[in-house]
Amino acid sequence: MKTSRLWTKRMMGTAVAAALVGTGSMAAFAADGASVAPGTAAETAGADIKNVILLIPDGMANEATALARYYKGSSLALDALATGMVRTHSADAPIADSAPAGTAFATGFKSHTGFVGVLPDKATMPGQAAIAKGEERRPVASVLEASKRAGKATGIIATSEFMHATPADFSAHYPDRKNYDALSMQQVYNGIDVVLGSGSSFLTSAGRKDGNNLLASIKALGYDYVTTPAALKASKSDKLWGMFGSKALDYDLDRDPSKQPSLAEMTSKAIEVLSKDKDGFFLMVEGSKVDWAAHANDPVGVVSDVLAFDKAVEAALGFAKRDGQTAVVAVTDHGNGGLTIGNAATTGSYDEEPLSAFIGPLKKAKVTGEGFESKLNASRSNIKEAAKTYLGITDLTSEEVKSIREAKPGSMNYAVGPIISSRSGIGWTTGGHTGGDVVLYAYAPNGDRPSGVIDNTDVAKYIARVLGLDLGQTTKQLFVEAQAAFAAKGAKTEIKAASLVVTKNGQKLELPFYKNQALLNGGKITLDGVVVYNGSKVYVSQKAVDLIS
């Protein structure tokens, strides 16, 4: 495509924006036509972009980077990449949940709270085109899936469970982010080359409602399955699946380097594996727990994982500059917590407070609020001693002791976070997400990078453009409404035992939900995409439809 076709203006409306993600029926559902302005050298000749690394620090508010920079005492790798701002709203609300926010980055379509990789039921925010009847909850292709169809290697990394909202947005489709069984099954069978992070308990039969043993499936599909940093480093496989915890990974400050790799280490390993593909690669990296710390109003957790994320950005940027054919984009999906450097207590003294007043209390902490829980004995009778040793706090009030003692297992950061915040002049306006614009960071060796104030859907459009991907056509090929398509061929369909069963003139086609497999008259066939059941309709690839004559 020529660049002149791609830098659309808002006044051209949704029809032109839709063309960026494909033609046909899907075109009506593109997000508004915000421009994705070229970088300073976008119109000049330069190296083609073969690879894209997208890094997402989930829930990273703007002031979180300032706080992390002060804590570090020097610039962040992110700083030199700042190029614009991104609007984060979902299809029907000004404040987005991670599932629709990640869906926008992954597919170029806004969606609804909890919806992963599918269209919303309605689009009511200003500038949004209505969802046509019958297209609600339809799966739409991600840049990862389009990259895979283009012959590129693909990977996802997260410090949360691998089927959490953001990584799932790029590799699965379902209108409920809590349906871990459906999401993880798709991820296992979606042909991703590298999956690194955590969540091994959701791979075992005991950890799943459907009883499937996905660990056995991963190994049968040819992945090198690793569980330690040493095994990760030693792996020579082109198909790598690494799980370093049963659920989410620890915050970087709390992490045991012998048991869990850093986000930067996982990023570097993924690049090492994916860059072997001569056709290029797409990699998504999420610093998941910046968001979790912000929900808990835990500034130490925020700083811990912003800095860990920044090291992953540094690793990606280092490769990109050496490679010369790699674009790097870093952007959060939404703000969280309303973090401020300065709170109600500094109202009369904000301009007189030294940096140490804000950073000193954070520096004293040797663990995050979450990590502090492991330092308490079973009866939690050592709260004051542990606070002195691990948080650097010697003046806990009786109310603060009570809040720590009564904190539910797994929620200690919600007690400790506010205690540290009150001593460091850190303010919070909410325990939830926020709706403001977020900073866009980007690098491209030819200067072709998005800039200005853009929409979150424009991130997917940028990635698709520089990699030469057609998201609309990929959706058409991967997600055909199965019942209607087979009925048009005179075949009968029935949902039975978590499969779509298709029959016609002695032919029997079985399409198990959330897998890329089919059984035609008992013979196994590998499809080019996963079968998606969204609770009411089944979507299959055109290849599956063509199996019935």
Binding residues for Zn(2+): 58, 291, 295, 333-334, 433
Count Cβ atoms within 10 A of the Cβ of residue 73 and give its class: 0-12 exposed, 13-18 middle, 19 or more buried.
Answer: exposed
* Spatial CB neighbours of 349, under 8 Å, sequence gap ≥ 6: none
Selected catalytic residue, list 35, 90, 98, 184: 98
CA–CA dist 299, 467 (Å, integer) = 37
Asked whether 320 and 441 are in contact (CB, 8 A), the reply is no
Q: What is the 3-state secondary structure (H, E, C) of 14-70?
A: HHHHHHCCCCHHHHHHCCCCCCCECCCCCCCCCCCCCEEEEEECCCCCHHHHHHHHH
The strand pairing partners of 285, in sequence order, are 55, 157
Binding site: what residues are annotated?
Answer: 58, 164, 166, 286, 291, 295, 333-334, 433
Binding site for Mg(2+): what residues are annotated?
Answer: 58, 164, 166, 286
Positive/negative CA dihedral, 408, 413, 416, 418: negative
Half-sphere exposure in the Cβ direction for 449 (13 Å, CA): 24
What is each CA distance from 25 to 135, 494, 500, in whole angstroms?
9, 26, 24
Count Cβ atoms within 10 A of the Cβ of residue 372 and give its class: 0-12 exposed, 13-18 middle, 19 or more buried.
Answer: buried
CA angle 252, 290, 453 (to 5 degrees): 135
CA–CA dist 261, 512 (Å, integer) = 35
Residue with tokens 């609770």: 535
Residue 92: count of CB within 10 angstroms of its CB: 19
What is each CA distance from 523 to 142, 189, 324, 352, 507, in whole angstroms?
29, 18, 45, 75, 11
Residue 400 CA, chain-centre distance (Å), reads 35
Asked whether 451 and 84 are in contact (CB, 8 A), the reply is yes
Asked whether 151 and 73 are in contact (CB, 8 A), the reply is no
CA–CA dist 101, 484 (Å, integer) = 30
Catalytic, 160? Answer no
CA–CA dist 437, 454 (Å, integer) = 9
Asked whether 316 and 155 are in contact (CB, 8 A), the reply is no
- The first and second tokens of residue 532, run together, are 């998606």
- Which has the closest alpha carbon to 424: 515, 341, 480, 486? 341
Asked whether 448 and 83 are in contact (CB, 8 A), the reply is no
3-state SS class at 432: coil
Per-position DSSP letters for 283-304, written without gaps between them? EEEE-THHHHHHHTT-HHHHHH
Residue 362: count of CB within 10 angstroms of its CB: 22
Q: Which residues are catalytic?
A: 98
